[in-house]
Amino acid sequence: MIPPPLALPLLSLLTGLLLFFPPGAVASGTRNFQFFAPPTEGTLPNGPLGRLIRQGELIFIHTGQFAHRYVGNDLTCESCHLDRGIKPYSAPLWGAYGIYPRYRKKNHTVSTLEERIQGCFRFSLNGTPPPLGGRTMKALLAYSFWVSRGAPVGLYLKGQGLRHMSKPAEPPSRLRGKRVFESRCSLCHGLDGQGTQADNNQVAFPPVWGPRSFNKGAGFYNVGKLAGFIKMNMPLSKGQTLSDQQAWDVAAYIDSQPRPEDPRKAGGKHS
Ligand code: HEC
Ligand code: HEC
């Protein structure tokens, strides 16, 4: 029992704490909040902002066409951030928009969203980062903003990033992974992993290794991350049909194949 003379100071301390750390802030680690990205089509504002958003969407979907000088392979943003960057567990834009600036262990600094996007150009697209404040970056930011309307700021949302994979029962096996790849993936990505081209020379299915795929500095060069992506998203439109072990195995197989070096490493073949 709290003695009466202490009750009032304690109560005001509690109120003070609540004012300082409101329940929303305490919940900053939550992943239970379900968010659905609003549509872009038909809802764009008129004028320059609408045009910029639309341009960002085009860059996102046809990166090699609309931002060609910054792209060094056959992938687009949408190759990995599916459904125009809004599919849960494929690192959707609405899951990212509200959690930057963010501390990242990869480079031990606090990154802004723009710097994060530059990283995807450099590693995932094996290209050159577009300058901050330039038209390409502004358009991608405007598009990210538009699909994130209504998303809370400072919260980790359900479906943000990639599915976290616990360590598999058995260590990932490239040999088993090769068999998974041949039976479940090669139809689209090719037995040689080089993807397939449509008649009009456009990339129909992107390469998953080799000179036209992501480089060794990319997030997908981490087997656990790649396994999380595959588990939820591949085979295309048949996510969650592989077991966790199969996802780890096929990720280990893909990441054991040749691909461009990490441009940060001396002697890396980066142009
Ligand atoms: C080869 C696959 C790949 C491509 C291509 C790619 N990204 Fe990424 N991107 C990733 C991975 C992997 C992550 C890290 C996700 C994680 O760790 O949760 C990421 C993270 C991001 C994030 C931060 C997400 C978050 O939740 O923190 C943004 C924003 C982003 N990418 C934008 C882009 C844009 C814009 C492009 C095209 C210019 C692009 N990406 C191309 C794989 C890719
Ligand atoms: C039905 C065709 C199809 C099948 C089967 C398929 N994929 Fe994909 N995959 C795609 C398409 C299409 C994309 C790009 C998505 C986009 O551009 O909208 C993609 C993207 C990817 C990516 C990211 C981009 C890249 O090239 O690195 C990886 C990794 C990947 N798939 C792995 C797999 C694995 C592993 C399997 C088998 C378990 C698989 N896929 C089965 C069609 C397929």
Spell out the domain ranges in the chain: 48-147, 174-255
Is pLDDT above 80 for 110? Answer: yes
pLDDT at residue 87, rounded to an integer:
97
Query: Under CATH, what is the fold of the domain 48-147?
Result: Cytochrome Bc1 Complex; Chain D, domain 2 (1.10.760)
pLDDT digits (tens, 9 = 90+) for 36-55: 998 888 889 999 999 999 99
pLDDT at residue 34, rounded to an integer:
87
Confidence at 31, pLDDT banded by 50, 70, 90: confident
If one compares 104 and 65, the residue with the highest pLDDT of the two is 65
Is pLDDT above 90 for 159? Answer: yes
d(CA 78, CA 177): 24
Query: Under CATH, what is the fold of the domain 174-255?
Result: Cytochrome Bc1 Complex; Chain D, domain 2 (1.10.760)
- DSSP string of 77-111? HHHHSHHHHTSTTB--HHHHHTT-SEEETTTTEEE
Domains 48-147 and 174-255 equal at CATH topology level: yes
pLDDT at residue 264, rounded to an integer:
94
Q: Give the ligand whose atoms come closest to the C-alpha of residue 148.
A: 1
pLDDT at residue 22, rounded to an integer:
41
Q: Where are the alpha helices (DSSP H) in 135-212?
A: 135-147, 174-180, 186-189
pLDDT digits (tens, 9 = 90+) for 237-268: 999 999 999 999 999 999 999 999 999 996 54
When the pLDDT of each residue in the chain is averaged and rounded to a whole number, the result is 89
C-alpha of residue 259 to centroid of ligand 1, in Å? 18
Confidence at 271, pLDDT banded by 50, 70, 90: very low
Longest dimension (CA), the chain: 83
Is pLDDT above 50 for 111? Answer: yes
d(CA 41, CA 23): 36
pLDDT at residue 200, rounded to an integer:
78
- Minimum-distance ligand 2 atom for the alpha carbon of 184: 37
Is pLDDT above 80 for 26? Answer: no
**Quick check: 127 and 73 in contact, CB under 8 A?**
yes
Give, using CA atoms, the residue closest to atom 20 of ligand 1.
91
For a pocket test of ligand 2, which of 234, 240, 242, 246 has the largest count of ligand atoms closer than 8 A to its C-beta? 234
d(CA 207, CA 197): 10
d(CA 85, CA 79): 9
The two structure tokens encoding residue 253: 């197989």
pLDDT digits (tens, 9 = 90+) for 4-22: 565 555 555 544 444 444 4
Give, using CA atoms, the residue closest to atom 31 of ligand 2.
234
d(CA 168, CA 20): 42
Compute CA 96 distance to the chain's CA centroid, rounded to the nearest angstrom: 8
d(CA 17, CA 24): 13
For residue 78, what are the contacts with CB-CB under 8 A and spacing of at least 6? 60, 61, 63, 84, 85
Predicted model pTM: 0.90
